[in-house]
A and B are shown apart, each in its own frame.
Chain A
Amino acid sequence: MLQKRLEVGLCVIALLSLMPADLCQAKSKGKDKAQPADVFTPPAEMTANIPTFVDGSGQPLKPFDATGADGSEPNIDVIRRLPSLTGPQRKALDKMLAESRVQKAALQDGIKSMQSQLKNRQASSNKPGAKPLLNALTKPSISFTPAKPQVANAATQEMDNAMEMQQQGEMREQETMVQEPPPEEEIKAKIQNSTDQIKQANKQLWQFAASVLTAQQRDELDKMRHGQLMITTANGSQNLTDKKSDTVLGAMNPYRPEPVSVSINKGALKRILSNQAKHEKTPDFSGL
């Protein structure tokens, strides 16, 4: 029955399955000039000792950067889960995070708006006889000094207005075309500038988070990232056994139950195995 159920798509799948290999073969013909001298020589990877996770190009995945060097926002939630974090520390982190997000939201909206402008403009310029549009970016440069929410909100509002004007641009262009829009490069530079500001804000957040924590807490955080932070459990303190219990008995986690010695009925097992020796399995499917 099970075989039958699985059989249903087999014919189609078989056909589909045949395609990639052959297509792949056909596509690659003449494309890559370099060919291994001996295709049957196992590559080094086959004998590598340590398997590794890789990205789509076969390169090892980079470990997560926990310093913010890549410009990403720190995961404050992880820090908030530190067992020894105090209430005031938590409040300080939350406040800083909230402020930082308000600041970044305005910048992110701005980037989105500018990207939209770019896209629309490129689309328009592709039309025959297209004329330059009034671009919201011809307005004075928007200031992003976002420590205070109301400032950021004002900036957001300004960008919303810009979006609206952009959407209505086609209708108004004849009557309001008073100024040439900035070149694309200028818009791109502004986008880059905003992106840099976001990264900088994240970097500051990382620095702030680190400054809030004590040296001991930073050590705790590091242990947590490595899966080695002990924590209270049903049986007392849980020793994170990834390291210890992987070694042989004796060095094992003391909270792990003693193994029960296994005593298999050898005679019975032998009989069962020999009784089943005449196994014959011929699944009934076809279509391959």
Chain B
Amino acid sequence: MTKPDTESFWIEHLLRRAGFGYSPAELKYYKSLGYEKTLVELLEPEKVDNSKLTDALDQQGFDFTRLVDLKRWWIYRMAFTRRPLEEKMSLFWHGHFATSNRKVDNPYFMYLQNVKMRDYGLGNFETLLLSMSKDPAMIIWLDNQQNKKGKPNENYAREVMELFSLGIGNYTEKDVKEGGRSFTGWQSRPDGFYFNAKDHDNGNKVFLGQQGNFNGDDVVGILARNPAAPKFLATKLCKFFVADNPSDTLISEVAGAYKPGEQNIRKMMETIFTHPEFISQSSYHAKIKGPAELVVGTIKSLQVTKLDGELPNQMARMGQSLFEPMTVKGWDGGAAWVSTDMMMERFNFATKITQQKFDAMEGYIVPSALVAKQGLQTPAETVNYFLNLLVDNDVPASARNELTQYVASDTNGKPIDTNSPDERLQDAKLRGLVHLIMTLPTYQLA
């Protein structure tokens, strides 16, 4: 099938990558703006009133001292925010500064960290890195609590270079030791970050070729201005937002937008979303959706308003337990999302959301209502609508025909009598149709 050669097509692509997909109403709105204005709105979330989300969140009764509520809170934000990129950046930074409550054991600290990722996620990288270095959850996670003068713990100093700013090969073991000394005395207390002067090493340090009585602030500044930082960050951003194997050209241009004096993450994102490699066939449907993208995208496209309280657990079984990344490296993404067992969990999710009913007709989704709203009359129209809604019409003709045949036939394969429709059969067929589309390969792709 040939896609219509319109700007709208790339807006859909943009919304999948810079956000979590779209509801029909959202898509209509963004298409009315056009690609450029949509992008500006995504890149400047501070200018978008999100108070409806706040009001809705206030009514949920989430308890931020409970991890399960924290997970639901974030899923809710992802699904119903008017600022999709803000949430997507938070998810990116959560994977980048991967911190797990399994060790931190303090959901409230995890919540505070998440708020910071949202606030600083599109701003200056040094500010973000510093806020993470002083984050109570991070301090517990990477053992800086035990980093004291004379008894240094170098875990944070190593990871801040290896995983957060420069990457392996851009520092030495000596830098790790000296960096560790610089972060001594940076501790976490119930009231937040605490600088314990008596545990801080005030001696002279030599760090990445520079010499002085450095503390953690100095080290973060040196790292954010290091020439290796832009490329390291650009590579991770491009892999997350564009493709698993982005070109050197793209990485180089995105890194160039960082500018050592500005360290501007927003500018990097602008470069990504206006780059020919992003707006190209090589990028289109070329990334496997992560569990958050899959689940939240489904909520949005199918306009789910009754959210399964088990969603956090379902996502965990798909490999992404929010606030609990498995390792300090975060989630690998890409093909790692579709191992055999995780793929089965995706299908289980599709089954549950399409098939589970609360009474005769109502369930998590009500496809018949969508059909009625659109005034769809024939099986072909119905299939076309759902394919467009769920997979951007990106299926071969053979699949489309099979789906149409499925909707038009009863359980014995005989054509459904459209003159005297069996409502239950129709409901089952529509649910089956959505289920089938959700198990298509294309539905796994962003």
Residues of chain A at the chain B interface (Cβ within 8 Å) = 2-3, 5-7, 9-10, 13-14, 16-18, 20-22, 24-26, 28-29, 32, 34-36, 39-43, 45-46, 48-58, 61, 63-64, 66, 75, 77-78, 80-85, 224-227, 229, 231-235, 238, 240-243, 245-249, 252-253, 255-257, 259-262, 264-266, 268-269, 272-273, 275-286, 288
B35 and A273 form a contact (CB under 8 A) = yes
Q: Which residues of A contact B355 (CB under 8 A)?
A: 20-21, 24
B362 and A45 form a contact (CB under 8 A) = yes
User: A229–B436 Cα gap in the complex (Å)?
Assistant: 46
A-B CB proximity, top 7 nearest: A21-B432, A63-B61, A58-B358, A25-B428, A40-B372, A83-B191, A6-B441
Does residue B115 face the partner (Cβ distance < 8 Å to A)? Answer: yes
A246 and B50 form a contact (CB under 8 A) = yes
**B372 in complex: contacting residue of A42, A272, A280, CB < 8 Å:** A42
Q: Which residue of B has the minimal Cβ distance to A65?
A: B63
Knowing A50-B56, A257-B123, say if A281 contacts B281 (CB, 8 Å): yes
B347 and A39 form a contact (CB under 8 A) = no
4 additional contacts, CB 8 Å, given A21-B354, A39-B372, A46-B373?
A24-B355, A40-B368, A45-B366, A252-B46
A21 and B60 form a contact (CB under 8 A) = no
Knowing A51-B306, A260-B266, say if A42 contacts B373 (CB, 8 Å): yes
User: A55–B309 Cα gap in the complex (Å)?
Assistant: 6
A28 and B39 form a contact (CB under 8 A) = no
B111 and A227 form a contact (CB under 8 A) = yes
**Chain B 301-317 near chain A by CB (<8 Å), digits 1 or 0:** 00111111111000000
B264 and A260 form a contact (CB under 8 A) = yes
Knowing A245-B118, A246-B50, say if A262 contacts B309 (CB, 8 Å): no
B46 and A39 form a contact (CB under 8 A) = no
Q: Which residues of B contact A28 (CB under 8 A)?
A: 360, 424, 428
User: A227–B73 Cα gap in the complex (Å)?
Assistant: 11
User: A277–B2 Cα gap in the complex (Å)?
Assistant: 11
A-B contact pairs, 11 of them (CB 8 A): A10-B439, A24-B431, A39-B372, A43-B369, A53-B309, A63-B60, A81-B108, A225-B64, A233-B192, A247-B51, A259-B45
Size category, B interface: 35 or more
Does residue B106 face the partner (Cβ distance < 8 Å to A)? Answer: yes
Q: Which residue of A has the minimal Cβ distance to B303?
A: A46
B63 and A13 form a contact (CB under 8 A) = no
**A81 in complex: contacting residue of B10, B106, B288, B441, CB < 8 Å:** B106
A21 and B435 form a contact (CB under 8 A) = yes
**A264 in complex: contacting residue of B36, B73, B123, B444, CB < 8 Å:** B36
Q: Which of B20-57 contact A (CB under 8 A)?
A: 35-36, 39-40, 43-51, 53-54, 56-57
Please give the distance in Å from A119's CB to the nearest CB on chain B.
29
Q: Which residues of A contact B406 (CB under 8 A)?
A: 18
Does residue B135 face the partner (Cβ distance < 8 Å to A)? Answer: yes
Does residue B7 face the partner (Cβ distance < 8 Å to A)? Answer: yes
User: A18–B411 Cα gap in the complex (Å)?
Assistant: 10
A43 and B361 form a contact (CB under 8 A) = yes
Q: Which residue of A has the minimal Cβ distance to B368?
A: A39
A51 and B428 form a contact (CB under 8 A) = no
Does residue B168 face the partner (Cβ distance < 8 Å to A)? Answer: no
Q: Which residues of A contact B66 (CB under 8 A)?
A: 64
Does residue B321 face the partner (Cβ distance < 8 Å to A)? Answer: no
Knowing A40-B371, A259-B47, say if A227 contacts B116 (CB, 8 Å): no
User: A64–B270 Cα gap in the complex (Å)?
Assistant: 41
User: A279–B283 Cα gap in the complex (Å)?
Assistant: 11
**B286 in complex: contacting residue of A2, A45, A66, CB < 8 Å:** A2
A278 and B441 form a contact (CB under 8 A) = no
A253 and B119 form a contact (CB under 8 A) = yes
**A256 in complex: contacting residue of B120, B306, B362, B435, CB < 8 Å:** B120
Binds A, one of B93-101, B125-133, B148-156, B223-231: B125-133
**B63 in complex: contacting residue of A66, A81, A285, CB < 8 Å:** A66
**A245 in complex: contacting residue of B63, B119, B361, CB < 8 Å:** B119
B373 and A232 form a contact (CB under 8 A) = no
